[in-house]
Amino acid sequence: MCLAHTAEVDREVGRRALPWLPPDLARQVNRHERDFAAGAAAAAGWPRAYHVPGSKPGLGGSIRLQCERLVTAIRSRTQFSEVVAGLGVLAHLTADAEDPFLAAEPADGYAHSFASYVPSAAPRIPLVFYGQGAFIRGSAEGLTVLVASRRREAETMASFVREDLDRLGGPGSWTRLDDRSSSFGTASLFLNHAATDFANLASWVWTHAGGLVPGAGTGTSASAGNADAATSSMARQRASDFTMVPPGLALERGVACVDVR
């Protein structure tokens, strides 16, 4: 079972990614918000071996398998409620890849503090997109390379949070963190990198399933900070409309689940 981050983070990743999903796919995610949340909740209950590197199938293998499963589901005309549930799974796994405390022990107080802090800081964190990935038209092997790279970067961030909390008196002092702290910067990178990766992974799925991904393969890069005013305004509006409902029961069938026997 994954304890690295909360359900609110999965929904926040989806909300932030929405403006940069392929438009047809974004409409389906908006239409099936409950299924997205249910899929994310289902993924949170998977055994630890699916969430961390170095195990089998491992985080990279889980993300690659989920992307391939979603391609098959779309090509076989599976109901979009199930496809979107599978995207909820993918959002949770993508957040795992960017979580600085993914490998922490269950009793790690710093990890629990960061998991509590991120949802409280999220409303104040600017929306940033780091650009369309060059791997979108590439093979599935590129997905595992991406995950490995993201984990190496994310693991370096945990020390900044630990140092902040130690200066304030320990893990229980997370409510005293302010927006000038290294922890706020870490939370910002965590959420926006996860949202960027999720949008790119969903775009990989969509293009390999035969869908249209604007700009795919051109190396086009855009962000909330440098987009033109009209595009930036529309992106913020679409993101604010993505109000995910609380997750319901975890799915037992469909693309949201794997056989863990």
* Alpha helix ranges (H) inside 76-140: 80-98, 109-121
Q: Give mean pLDDT, residues 117-134.
A: 93
Are 21 and 129 in contact by the 8 Å Cβ rule? The answer is no
Q: Give mean pLDDT, residues 1-30.
A: 88
> What is the CB-side half-sphere exposure of residue 37 using CA atoms within 13 A?
19
Is it the case that residue 254 has pLDDT exceeding 60?
no
Residues 144-178: pLDDT tens digits?
A: 888 888 888 898 999 999 999 999 999 999 999 99
Which of 125, 172, 145, 120 is closest to 5 using CA atoms? Answer: 120
pLDDT, the chain, mean: 82
For residues 258 and 252, give the distance between their C-alpha atoms in angstroms, rounded to a whole number.
Answer: 9
Coil, helix or strand at residue 53: coil
Q: Give mean pLDDT, residues 215-241.
A: 39
For the record, the structure tokens of 255 come out as: 């693309």
pTM for this predicted structure: 0.81
Residues 64-98: pLDDT tens digits?
A: 999 999 999 999 999 999 999 999 999 999 999 99
- Least confident span in 3-7, 77-81, 196-200, 205-209: 3-7
Query: What local confidence, expressed as pLDDT, does residue 54 receive?
Result: 64
Query: What local confidence, expressed as pLDDT, does residue 145 receive?
Result: 86
Amino acid at 215: G
Are 251 and 88 in contact by the 8 Å Cβ rule? The answer is no
Q: Give mean pLDDT, residues 11-16.
A: 95
End-to-end CA distance of the chain: 14
DSSP 145: H
Is it the case that residue 220 has pLDDT exceeding 70?
no
- For the domain spanning 10-241, the CATH number is 1.10.575.10
Q: How confident is the model at residue 241 (pLDDT cuts 50, 70, 90)?
A: very low
Q: Give mean pLDDT, residues 88-114.
A: 93
Q: How confident is the model at residue 2 (pLDDT cuts 50, 70, 90)?
A: low
Is it the case that residue 137 has pLDDT exceeding 50?
yes
Is it the case that residue 240 has pLDDT exceeding 50?
no
Are 43 and 85 in contact by the 8 Å Cβ rule? The answer is no
Is it the case that residue 257 has pLDDT exceeding 50?
no
Which of 196, 202, 223, 209 is closest to 27 using CA atoms? Answer: 202
Query: What local confidence, expressed as pLDDT, does residue 4 receive?
Result: 65
Coil, helix or strand at residue 108: coil
Domain boundaries defined on the chain: 10-241
For the record, the structure tokens of 39 come out as: 């899929």
Residues 202-213: pLDDT tens digits?
A: 999 999 999 988
